[in-house]
Structure 1
């Protein structure tokens, strides 16, 4: 009976919800794992499963090495399945509704150190594409832009005389950012070449070889190309450059609130995730600031 109801749910996902084969495979794998747990605990019907059982199940798959993100997905599948069972009037309650998975740890890209940044931003400019690519990478590192923010920039967003730009971030929130000297120089060089690719009526700051607004995928591909060509360790991509910006700014200034504003984070805890201080720097700050950590004068 339990297997038949599970099959009906998967059929519902495929026909009424029209989920992709990949998503269906995930649902099927996660729910078969749950079915195995239910059978091991000799629960005759889905209605016999309690919230305590679901918590035990989550703990079990956690012990088996399943990552937080995978546990979240599995519990989401169980919750959806019980909503279906309730809709069909096979159960009265959803035992998975209040069960939360352990928070998934966020994996961040490694930063580029200052030597790698110098090598990456010393690319030979010989044509419009290399001039554009250098300006793109300089601007991301200079202002900590998200790649979506970068590709959305128009010419009118730049305030060259003020050394700044206006960017539209997440939630359609606009913020003003400083632009560094090296990035301004790279932009000037890009403007010398830009009319080779784009008509003067094109508002986009950065354009593709066909003259339209550049895409996120093209930016990613070009950065990966330059990373490989210049022998940079690990894959070079926009978020790695943004993360390097944030880390270097925080290491130099120690001003978490300022870095939060520059990155456009709503919550400062997000900035704490994206940035880090090495332990040696923390010890230096502690030793210099804490009254009971300072060495006594001899």
Structure 2
């Protein structure tokens, strides 16, 4: 245990936070208890380890033992983020041991951290979306914001695509229900625009030419007549959510997710959603199948006569 104590002293001298030091200590003690359990085929407590005179031979720790430790933590239900932290702790500790001349290799470096689970995107149901979009439009900023929110939801745009949208060639096909946006990888793509979004855009364009600087090419401008920023859109969306009585945190990306989710729920066509969102790979779009199944499971539980639990 003396090497762990020296390691923690070194970290303290580097002004690591108390929280970080506590995590390192817990992670290393967890590994040490696993080590002795493997070597002696018995469970050890912290008190046992502090009282036992036996010194752990860190040179005996190999890649196989680190992998076994990770697997034991997986089986105990430790989350992916915590597992990644445990591995990071071991890597740092073994680098310290190498610098001290205690070991010659870092076995934890050869063990990959488990993949972080991909979180399901937070969406809005159709009622919430309508609630957000059907608010009074009385000022020129509200007319602009209505066009922004309708376009994010209708076309499933990334907020960066919307901010970068220019009058030409962006809006050349608006009357036919299409716009051109610059997507990821600097690739131009066509995005579909529904009737409500077209109406909102036409209303905004009438105002926009009065508010924008003569040389400005951006579709959406701020009160100074210059291109609107992502931060401004987030602020305007936060305000609209408050006005609509939506208590959950809103973001432009949630409107993009809502577009994809609602289309998939209605059509079941994953390829169409891929094209709609401008995903290069279908695997990126497949997360929406989880959302769709989640929705299906909720509907099933609520409506199927043999699915409802007795209360």
**149 and 2 in structure 1: CA distance in 2 versus 1, 3 angstrom threshold:** same
Q: Are 1:248 and 2:262 matched, yes or no? A: yes
Q: Is the 8 A contact 1:111 1:241 kept in 2?
A: yes
In the alignment of these two chains, the number of paired residues is 273
Q: Distance in 2 between matches of 1:216 and 1:120?
A: 19
Q: Distance in 2 between matches of 1:77 and 1:267?
A: 35
Q: Are 1:229 and 2:243 matched, yes or no? A: yes
TM-score by length of 1: 0.77
Secondary structure in structure 2 of the residue aligned to 1:44 = coil
* Superposition deviation, residue 129 in structure 1: 1.2
Gaps of 5+ in 1: 15-20, 283-298
Secondary structure in structure 1 of the residue aligned to 2:107 = coil
Secondary structure in structure 2 of the residue aligned to 1:55 = helix
Structure of greater Rg: 2
Secondary structure in structure 2 of the residue aligned to 1:97 = helix
More deviation in 79-88 or 27-36?
79-88
Q: Is the 8 A contact 2:28 2:89 kept in 1?
A: no
Gaps of 5+ in 2: 37-54, 298-311
2:177 to 143, 147, 163: 163
Q: Which residue does 1:277 correspond to in 2?
A: 292
Q: Distance in 2 between matches of 1:97 and 1:69?
A: 17
* Superposition deviation, residue 219 in structure 1: 1.5
Q: Are 1:151 and 2:163 matched, yes or no? A: yes
* Superposition deviation, residue 279 in structure 1: 7.2
Q: Which residue does 2:30 correspond to in 1?
A: 37
> Any idea what the Cα deviations from partners look like across 1:244-280, whole Å, max 9, x if unmatched?
1111111122111121122122332221213432479
Q: Distance in 1 between matches of 2:145 and 2:198?
A: 14
Secondary structure in structure 2 of the residue aligned to 1:239 = helix
TM-score by length of 2: 0.74
Secondary structure in structure 2 of the residue aligned to 1:177 = strand
Q: Distance in 1 between matches of 2:135 and 2:105?
A: 61
Structure 1: 4+ residue segments shifted above 6 A: 279-282
Q: Which residue does 2:41 correspond to in 1?
A: none
2:214 to 195, 200, 207: 200
2:107 to 95, 102, 106: 95
Q: Are 1:79 and 2:91 matched, yes or no? A: yes
